[in-house]
Amino acid sequence: MFSGKVAIVSGGSRGIGRAIAQALAREGAKVAFTYVQNKALADELANGETIVGFQADVTNFGQAKDLVKQVKDRFGRIDILVNNAGITRDKLLAMMSEKDWDDVLDTNLKGAFNLTKHVVGVMLRQKSGTILNVTSISGIVGMAGQVNYSSSKAGMIGFTKALAKEIAKVNVTVNALALGFVETDMTGALNPEYREKIIGQVPLGRIAQPEEMAEVALFMVSPKASYMTGQVLQIDGGLAI
């Protein structure tokens, strides 16, 4: 399905990003993924040919620019961008520090801007491409204790819709995937009591696996979704019904 295509997946060394990177490579794409610190985990995923890791901090405008240049120089083109890198610093607003706010907004929202800013130039010259922003139902319905995270994810939704209007005329699509609770390091750190409470709120009665999210992401960046842009697809087990 993706033979000859080149993808960048930010935050691709683990969790949802890792599953998306593996799924794209399985379907024939060349995949470049970013990671910040855990080189050992990145090396487990990278194979030096179809999946290549790049140590880069997407919150840094210059590093994002260098990354895009390296990928373009290595593979000759960039067809797919998945803005997946994200963090949480959950606290009630009354106890949230400025750093808690800045770290989350810088990674989740500014990181998406930084990468997209440089990738879009490549896609505009190609007159083709697709961008997928991994957001959250927290950005749609809001979550107590996640004012920073909800703000960043709601920002990604606005970013998606505005950019989709800007670049549709050059055959570049932009969509967002709004996820519910997925089995990752973030949800794995939840205490058992809170975890069971969350599961009890999900109509399907379970937390999703990253591979399930990857399959939806594949569709959204594939030719099958070529007439879809500016859309936010909720995959949350019915949590936000």
Catalytic residue chosen out of the listed positions 35, 149, 194, 227 = 149
Greatest C-alpha distance within the chain: 51
In the residue annotation, 227 being an active-site residue is answered as no
Mean pLDDT of 175-190: 86
> Residue 198: what pLDDT?
85
Has residue 18 got a pLDDT over 80? yes
Model confidence band, residue 193 (pLDDT cutoffs 50, 70, 90): confident
Mean pLDDT of 189-197: 80
**Residue type at 70 in one-letter notation:** Q
Please tell me the distance from the alpha carbon of residue 2 to that of residue 80, in angstroms, as a whole number.
Answer: 10
Tell me if residue 20 falls in helix, strand or coil: helix
pLDDT digits 0-9 by tens, 61-111: 999 999 999 999 999 999 999 999 999 999 999 999 999 999 999 999 999
pLDDT digits 0-9 by tens, 27-68: 999 999 999 988 999 999 999 889 999 999 999 999 999 999
The tokens for 72 are: 């373009």
- Kindly compute the dihedral angle of the four CA atoms of residues 156, 160, 163, 169, in this order, to the nearest 10 degrees: 170
Residue 133 · residue 159 · CB < 8 Å: yes
Length of the chain: 241
CA 151: distance to chain centroid?
Answer: 16
Helices vs strands, H then E, count in the chain? 10, 7
Please tell me the distance from the alpha carbon of residue 63 to that of residue 79, in angstroms, as a whole number.
Answer: 20
**Residue type at 100 in one-letter notation:** D
Q: How many CA atoms lie within 13 A of 218 on its CB side?
A: 20
> Residue 191: what pLDDT?
76
Please tell me the distance from the alpha carbon of residue 93 to that of residue 172, in angstroms, as a whole number.
Answer: 38
Has residue 185 got a pLDDT over 90? no
Please tell me the distance from the alpha carbon of residue 209 to that of residue 206, in angstroms, as a whole number.
Answer: 9
pTM of the complete model beyond 0.85: yes
CA 51: distance to chain centroid?
Answer: 17
Tell me if residue 143 falls in helix, strand or coil: coil
Has residue 186 got a pLDDT over 80? no
pLDDT digits 0-9 by tens, 107-166: 999 999 999 999 999 999 999 999 999 999 999 999 999 999 999 999 999 999 999 999
> Residue 187: what pLDDT?
72
The tokens for 70 are: 């390296």
> Residue 48: what pLDDT?
85
> Residue 14: what pLDDT?
94
Mean pLDDT of 182-199: 81
Angle of helix 147-167 versus helix 98-105 axis, rounded to 10: 30
Tell me if residue 202 falls in helix, strand or coil: coil
Has residue 234 got a pLDDT over 90? yes
How far CA 16 is from CA of 102, 179, 180, 185, 186, in Å, comes to 23, 10, 12, 10, 11
Nearest 5°: phi and psi at 7?
A: -125, 145
> Residue 56: what pLDDT?
97
The tokens for 224 are: 């099958």
Residue 125 burial (C-beta neighbours within 10 Å; 0-12, 13-18, 19+): exposed
Nearest 5°: phi and psi at 131?
A: -120, 130
> Residue 192: what pLDDT?
84
